[in-house]
Amino acid sequence: MRGLHIMNKQYKKIFSVLFAILVGASIVFLAWKGGDVAPTDNPSLGSNKWKDALVVIPQTYTSKTLGSTKGDIEMSTEEATTTTDVVARKLLLEYATSQAGVTTAEISDADAQSIANTLAQEVKLPHKKNYVLGDLNVSLDNSYDANLLYINTLSARLNKYVATGQKETDLTILLSAMTTRSTTTLGKLKEKEAIYQDLIKDLLAIKTPSRITQLHLRLIQDYETLRSSIVGLQSMLIDPVVGIAALAEYRVGFDDLFLTEKAYREFNFAN
181: alpha, beta or left? (left if phi > 0; alpha if psi -120 to 50): left
Which residue type sits at 68? S
Helix axis angle, 144-165 to 188-205, nearest 10°:
170
Query: Binning pLDDT at 50, 70 and 90, where does residue 176 land?
Result: confident
47 compared with 252, residue with greater pLDDT: 252
Q: Is the entire prediction scored with pTM above 0.85? A: no
Q: pLDDT tens digits, residue range 89-128?
A: 555 555 555 554 555 544 455 555 555 556 656 677 778 9
In this prediction, residues 132-158 reach a mean pLDDT of 91
| C-beta of residue 57 within 8 angstroms of C-beta of residue 261 | yes
Using the predicted structure, report yes or no on whether residue 186 has a pLDDT greater than 70: yes
Residues in a beta bridge with 137: 207
Q: pLDDT tens digits, residue range 14-72?
A: 334 443 433 333 322 222 333 333 334 455 555 555 555 555 655 444 444 444 333 33
